[in-house]
């Protein structure tokens, strides 16, 4: 049981960081794509 808790404490923050980085990079890509397409006449 303690091993499960240790694994959960290690995996959950890693997953949260991964999800956060993924959402941020998606927003950045969207902004870059928008500015790129709007700069083309």
The token pair that represents 36 in the structure block: 């790129």
d(CA 16, CA 34): 27
Whether the predicted pLDDT of 41 surpasses 70: no
The token pair that represents 18 in the structure block: 């991964």
pTM for the model stands at 0.55
d(CA 23, CA 27): 6
19-32 pLDDT tens trace: 999 988 888 877 77
What DSSP string describes 3-41?
A: HHHHHHHHHHHHHHHHHHHHHHHHHHHHHHHHHHHHH--
């Amino acid at each position: 049981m303690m091993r499960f808790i240790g694994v959960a404490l290690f995996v959950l923050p890693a997953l949260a960081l991964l999800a956060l980085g993924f959402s941020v990079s998606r927003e950045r890509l969207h902004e870059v794509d928008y500015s790129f397409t709007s700069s083309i006449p």
